Each structure stands twice: as structure tokens, then as C-alpha cells.
Structure 1
């Protein structure tokens, strides 16, 4: 006996869910990279470390990680300065480069979850 069914596809709602999942994945990825960077950021009194934040612009799907100390850029870019063991210049850039495979997996997992 043949069976039949009706399927209604709501592309607008599906698109919203996928976009929300991508934004969630970006945020979780940014938090992951921030966590790695917090272990590498130059540390004297801890002020620079305390300014690290992760955010996502959902309209453009851009993830951002920032350190807001007045000397954050200089600490990041100055390769000649000495730091405590495990702390380094390029603390954010190196963390992002190391985390690329995990970032892709985190975003993919959020998208897969939305497509179930």
C-alpha cells in the first residue's frame, strides 16, 4: 500500500536557524581562541589579560577577539621584548593559527546541529 506525505519547506525559518547556528559557532570559536590567548598574553600585573573579550557581529557573521589595554597592540607586535615563560608577542595571532582546525570543527558542529 503506497504512502504519501506532504512536506512544507520554510526557507526563511531555515535560513534564520542556519545563520543563528553560524553566529553561535563563531562565538564559541572566538571564546576558544580567547582562552588560548589568555595563556599566552604577556603578564605582569594581569591588566592586559583581564581586558580580553570575544564577540560576534551577527549581521556580518564576523567573530572578533580583542584586548583593550592601552599597550595591547604594542605588546602584540613588539617581537624584541622579553616575556615570562609561556608568554609571548603575537599572543592572539599565534593562538588563532594554532586553533584553526578546532575553529572549523566548532562552527561545523553548530551548523550540523541546526540542520538536524
Structure 2
């Protein structure tokens, strides 16, 4: 008895779906890091917190979370400054270290969804 199997290769569609899933995952992961870091950024007037942004280069896909004030780096690096409880220096670096696994899980979830 001979069996026949028909296989349809959707490689291009799968690659497109993976790229779209990766871009969305990276965007959501960056937004997650942004949200957590904004809860930890020192607040005087709120200018530093409001300057935060997440951006994505879809070609990579690569994301960046940044704070855009002239003093953002100084506040981030000054371990001697006093801040309100729960807020302080390394407000972005510590979040990336602590939330890195969660960010990877967010990206992986979007890749899985894209390939369904």
C-alpha cells in the first residue's frame, strides 16, 4: 500500500510571521522595562520621568529605553544622592538586570503566537 503525503512549504510566510512577532515582542519587552523603570526613577518635578521613551528599530529588531534630560546620566549614576523610598540611582540598569528574564519571556510569547 502506497501512502501519499502532500506538503506545502510556507517558509516565507513563517519568516514574515517570525519577524512581526519578534518586532512586537521586542516592543512589548521595552515597554515593560520602561514602565518598571519609570516607577523607580527619582522624582523632583517629574521631568526626568516624563522624558522616558522606548524605541524600536524594526530591522534588528532592537529596542532602547532612554531618559532624555541633560542630567539623566548623572542622576542614574550618583549612588550618594538621597531619593524617596523605592526610587534612586541605577533606575534603568537595575530594572534591566531584574526584569531581563521577563523581557525575554515576553519576546518568546510573541514569537510563539506569531507561529500559530
Q: TM-score, normalised by structure 1?
A: 0.92
Partner of 2:86: 86
Match status 1:16 vs 2:2: no
How far 1:5 moved relative to its partner?
Answer: 5.1
TM-superposed CA distance for 1:8, in Å, is 1.9
2:67 is the alignment partner of 1:55: no
Tell me, in whole angstroms, the C-alpha distance in 2 between the residues paired with 1:2 and 1:104: 46
Q: Which runs of 4+ in 1 moved over 3 A?
A: 1-5
Q: How many residues align?
A: 116
5+ residue gaps, structure 2: none
Alignment gaps of 5+ in structure 1: none
Instruction: Find out whether 1:115 has 2:105 as its counterpart.
Output: no
2:23 & 2:15 partners in 1: Cα distance?
A: 12
Distance in structure 1 (CA, Å) of the matches to 2:77 and 2:51: 17
Q: For 1:25 and 1:113, how far apart are their aligned partners in 2?
A: 10
Query: Equivalences for 1:33-44 in 2 at 5 Å?
Result: 33-44=33-44
TM-score by length of 2: 0.92
Q: Hey, what does 1:29 align to over in structure 2?
A: 29
Query: C-alpha deviations, 1:53-101, integer Å up to 9, x for none?
Result: 1111111211110111111111111111111111110000111111112
Distance change in 2, residues 1:2/1:112 (3 Å): farther
Q: How well do the aligned residues superpose, as a CA RMSD in angstroms?
A: 1.6
